[in-house]
Amino acid sequence: MLRLAALIAWSQWMFWNAGTLPLGKGNRLKRIVTEDGALVAFTRPHRLWIDGPTGQLTFEVTPNRYHDAWRIALGVLQFGPVDWLLGKLLDWGLELLPGHLSVRIRLPASLIRSADRDIVIVSGETAEWIEEHFRQLEAGARARLEQVKEGVARAGPVVQAGVEKARPVVKAGVERAKPVVQAGMDKAWPVLEKALDSGAALARRSAEAVMAAGRKGAAVPGEAPPAREEERIPPGE
């Protein structure tokens, strides 16, 4: 591994000093266009790879210009093994969407014709290479889907057998629990009845108190009581 990394660093240093880096200098995002001007992908100058056993030089491209931002965001969100696994699943799913946000394709450096500050011009065969990658990607996805379907089909009878085996056990447990539940209900019913009676009595007393207060408040406040008749004195007294 260290030998391969050293080989990559050495080759990039050689290209840099010779002024012949296949993707040009710098680190900015570059458009990859064919010789007839068709935009096919995006890349950065440092995305060069050397195959250790064969020495073949390749470069990495992506069809989506927001690929870098997505990779950074995905790396930040992955804190543990579970997050890493979910990130991988999400990554694979995004590869199959029309935007191709997570797609990374390695192409032979022999396809490169020239490179400047913003554009890398490649051979017209590059579009075919990219299309072939997506065909292989779709075929792999279909193969995985078929494997999942076969696994579900094989697991169906096993799950059904487990359900059938567990059904008598569940039924026996329900039958054993019925007397316990019934005894609990019988024990709780007198307490519930007492609580209902107490609640009804309290409500009745409250209603009577409210009605009594209403009758007392029917008299108009400030009204003087009726005057008493004066006692009449017989004449001559």
| Residue 167 maps to a domain | no
| Residue 178 maps to a domain | no
| Residue 26 maps to a domain | yes
pLDDT tens, position by position, 165-221: 888 988 888 888 889 888 888 888 888 888 888 888 888 888 888 888 777 766 545
pLDDT tens, position by position, 124-172: 888 888 889 888 888 888 888 888 888 888 888 888 888 888 889 888 8
How many domains, in total, are found in the chain? 1
Highest mean pLDDT among 14-18, 213-217, 221-225: 213-217
Instruction: Give the residue-averaged pLDDT of 69-75.
Output: 84
Task: Report the pLDDT value the prediction gives residue 117, as an integer from 0 to 100.
Answer: 81
| Residue 115 maps to a domain | yes
Kind and range of the H or E element at 41? strand 39-43
Q: Which residues of 209-237 are buried (b: 16+ CB within 10 A; e: fewer)?
A: eeeeeeeeeeeeeeeeeeeeeeeeeeeee
Task: Report the pLDDT value the prediction gives residue 13, as an integer from 0 to 100.
Answer: 43
| Residue 204 maps to a domain | no
Task: Report the pLDDT value the prediction gives residue 181, as an integer from 0 to 100.
Answer: 87
Please state, in angstroms and rounded to a whole number, the distance separating the CA atoms of residues 75 and 79.
Answer: 8
Task: Report the pLDDT value the prediction gives residue 14, as an integer from 0 to 100.
Answer: 44
Please state, in angstroms and rounded to a whole number, the distance separating the CA atoms of residues 118 and 179.
Answer: 82
The pLDDT-based confidence of 10 (bands split at 50, 70, 90) is very low
Do 30 and 67 contact (CB within 8 A), yes or no?
no
Q: If you ran DSSP here, which 8-state letter would residue 62 be given?
A: B
Question: What is the Rg, in whole angstroms, of the alpha carbon atoms belonging to the chain?
Answer: 44
| Residue 90 maps to a domain | yes
Q: Which domain holds residue 80?
A: 2-151
| Residue 9 maps to a domain | yes
Kind and range of the H or E element at 194? helix 125-216
Chain-wide mean pLDDT for the chain?
79
Do 43 and 133 contact (CB within 8 A), yes or no?
no
| Residue 31 maps to a domain | yes
